Amino acid sequence: MAIVFQIHRILGEMVLPLLTLIVAIWLTATWKPGGPAQPAARFFPMLVDLQVLIGLIYYVYLLVGGNSRMLSFPFILHPIIGIIATVVAHRAVKGNGLLPNLGRWSPLASLAILLVLVLINVMLGMPARA
């Protein structure tokens, strides 16, 4: 299970925040009203889904293994915020984004919300390693 944790850590702390920034800038720069979906918009939510799935597998493994800290506050928020981040990631890159009234800035604002969720989740997950 250590390999699952390492994959989750690498994606969540290193790859996902960087990709969030890159995709936010790319989608904002190339946004066209009513235009076709960008390739990055198709790939990005799948990466977030993979991250949350690996995290949930590891979370359940630790929970079943008797680690009672998994149910303590604030760590219980870690999987909940992960699921919320998945929903935000899917809405951020589809159609007009999570906040359609912002026009061109909708993908950037939506993915900024996702970046904040990811960073909060990284901070919440750090005490679990200790």
Least-confidence region, from 62-76, 88-102, 105-119: 88-102
The dihedral sign for the CA sequence 110, 114, 117, 123: negative
Contact (CB, 8 A) for 1 and 61: yes
**Segment 81-97 mean pLDDT:** 81
C-alpha pair distances (Å), 9 with each of 35, 103, 106, 122: 35, 34, 28, 9
- pLDDT per residue as tens digits for the range 35-63: 676 777 777 788 888 888 888 888 888 88
Looking at residue 130, its pLDDT comes to 47
The dihedral sign for the CA sequence 100, 103, 107, 109: negative
Q: What is the pTM of this model?
A: 0.75
* pLDDT higher than 60, residue 129: no
